[in-house]
Amino acid sequence: MKRGVGLKDLGINLNLAPVLDMCVDGDFLTQYDRCFRGTPEEIGELGENVILGQRAGGIMSVAKHFPGYGGITQDPETVEISVEDEIPEIEQFQVAGAATPEFVMAVVDVIYQPIDPDLSFAISPHGINFLREEIAGDYLVISDDLATETMKNKYSLKNTVTLAAKAGVDVLLISANEPEDPLNAFKFLLEAVREGIVAEQDIDGSFTKILDLKSTFGNLPER
């Protein structure tokens, strides 16, 4: 709760945490000490407490990165998109989901072949459907950064943004690796809607959910 209050005092209403990946020693996430350690249940319980504590302090939470970057040694955002033969452990996300996080973040730079052998998770309808099926709750799906070097090189920013929206991602995260990325992403999405590639009602639906959440974040109820 103290973290939430501290963030709130700084004018922040959303924290991109907790990180729930099952990290493995030597993988790229553990280099930054970003992961909880323990069994899936223990990690899920820690994540649940973070979500509840942040909400008590007036801060929204993002459970990330579903289904997980754990065990990937190279940085898939800058080196190469990772292609995984197995789906990582996700029980910790299901346990933490009991706290009903406001957002769940979908992995971008990984192809999980059992889910979709061709598209990275966050731009795949199969990926987002898998997320919705495995993690219960009325949350917004937010992508990890869609403007990474590896995604732009493999799919292009235009295709990445369009495919993520079509797949059912509510919030498209662009971390501005290049200054023009956010504006270009907006233009690409607007173009896709105008051309009928992305349904306008889907964009409106996500927009409405975002506005509804914004209207309540200052006094979030216990769920």
Handedness of CA 181, 186, 189, 191 (dihedral sign): negative
Q: Could you state, in order of their start, the residue ranges of all structural domains in the chain?
A: 2-219
Kindly state the percentage of the chain with pLDDT values over 70. Answer: 97
Indicate the pTM of the whole model.
0.93
Task: Check: CB of residue 50 under 8 Å from CB of residue 61.
Answer: yes
Q: How much is the average pLDDT of 195-217?
A: 93
Q: Is the pLDDT of residue 189 over 90?
A: yes
ω into residue 76 within 30 of 0, thus cis?
A: no
Tell me, what DSSP letter sits at residue 42?
H
Query: How confident is the model over 158-171, as pLDDT tens digits?
Result: 999 999 999 999 99
Query: Could you tell me the two tokens for 191?
Result: 């173009």
In the chain, the amino acid numbered 182 is P
More confident residue, 56 or 30: 56
Query: How confident is the model over 42-94, as pLDDT tens digits?
Result: 999 999 999 999 999 999 999 999 999 988 988 898 889 999 999 999 999 99
Burial class (CB in 10 A: 0-12, 13-18, 19+), 160: buried
Q: Is the pLDDT of residue 222 over 80?
A: no
Hey, what CATH topology would domain 2-219 get?
TIM Barrel (3.20.20)
What confidence score (pLDDT) does residue 3 get?
77
Distances (CA, A) of 135 to 53, 130, 202: 20, 8, 21
What confidence score (pLDDT) does residue 119 get?
98
Contacts of 57 (CB under 8 A, 6+ apart): 1, 2, 3, 4, 5, 6, 7, 8
CA–CA gap between residue 57 and residue 143 (Å, rounded): 24
Task: Check: CB of residue 18 under 8 Å from CB of residue 63.
Answer: yes
Q: Is the pLDDT of residue 220 over 50?
A: no
